[in-house]
Every structure is written in structure tokens, then in C-alpha cells.
Amino acid sequence: MNKRTSQRGSAMVEFALAGVASIFLLISTFHLAMGMWNYHTTAYAVHEATRFIAVKGRGCTLPGNNCTATVGTLAQKIKSVGIGVPSDQVVVTLTTDSGAVTTCSPLSSCFTNTTVWPPSANSDNKVGKKVTISAKYRFTSPMLIFWPGNGTTKIGQAWFPATSTQKIIF
């Protein structure tokens, strides 16, 4: 048997060993980048919504002013700033200084909510009071199957949290 015939099929074996691993690495890199993009975009959207609500306090509800914000306005703000983040994969929690909590699970369920926020109850809309907006983005990826401790799930999921707190300034 000569040398040429003994190497037959070796390219196919080499591809099976190196090519499959390379393709897996490429797809994993893409999914990780997509998850991190969505996480940072969600964090930015939450921060911007908190900044937006910081100027919508008691001064907006005094006679002559009409710049109050609603839960629906905040939900739309988070959606519009969070470009590319699916609103049905985000859970948002609005918390006032006194501890009153409003939850949008998922975010899209609050788009038509007309409740004024922050509420005037307990003077939560008063200058100097803190407002907190928290969000959790559910990232689903087939690559998370291989994440340690994931058990026997078919498709992996990870929750990426983001929180922002501001004082009402107006």
C-alpha cells in the first residue's frame, strides 16, 4: 500500500475534529455577543427611564402643569430606548421610596396602563424622594444548554438584571 492511499479520508476526519469545534465556537460567540448587547441595552433603557421619571414629580401635578407620567409611558420609554430587546422577554418593577411596587410582567402588558407614576400617595412624587426601576431580561439560547448547573433543560435561559435609582428633582 502506498502513502497516497493510506491518507485517504484524512481531510474528512480532520474537519470532523476541528471544523465542528470551530463552528460551535463561532455560533457561541455570536449568541454571547447578542446576549450582552441585549443586557447592556436593557440596562441603558432602565437608566434612561429612571432619568425621565426623575423630572416628573410633584411639580408636574401642581395646577397649570400637565407633564405627569404613567406606567404605560414608562413602559413605552423602556421599549423605545431598548432597541432590539423583545418586550415580552423583560420583566420591569417600579418601586417608590415608600416601597409601593408596580410590576410589568412582561413589559408589553403595561403599554396601556394609565396609572400615574410615581403616585402621590405617601408623597412618593415629592422632590428628593427616590424612585427605582428594575428590569430582568430573559435571554434564551441553545448554547446555554452547556452552562454549568443547567441540569437537563433543552434550551438554556439566563436572567440579566438591571436596576437604576434616581431622586425626583422637579
pLDDT digits (tens, 9 = 90+) for 1-51: 566 666 677 888 888 888 888 888 888 889 889 989 999 999 999 999 999
The per-residue pLDDT for 146 is 64
Please name every residue paired with 140 in a beta bridge, in sequence order, or none if there are none.
Answer: 157
Count the helix, strand and coil residues of the chain and give each as a percent rounded to the nearest 5: 45, 20, 30
Alpha helices in the chain (DSSP H): 3-6, 10-14, 20-54, 71-81
Tens digits of per-residue pLDDT, 89-124? 999 999 999 999 999 999 999 999 999 898 888 888
Among 107, 86, 94, 78, which residue's Cα sits nearest to residue 38? 86
pTM: 0.80
Among 18, 40, 117, which residue's Cα sits nearest to residue 76? 117
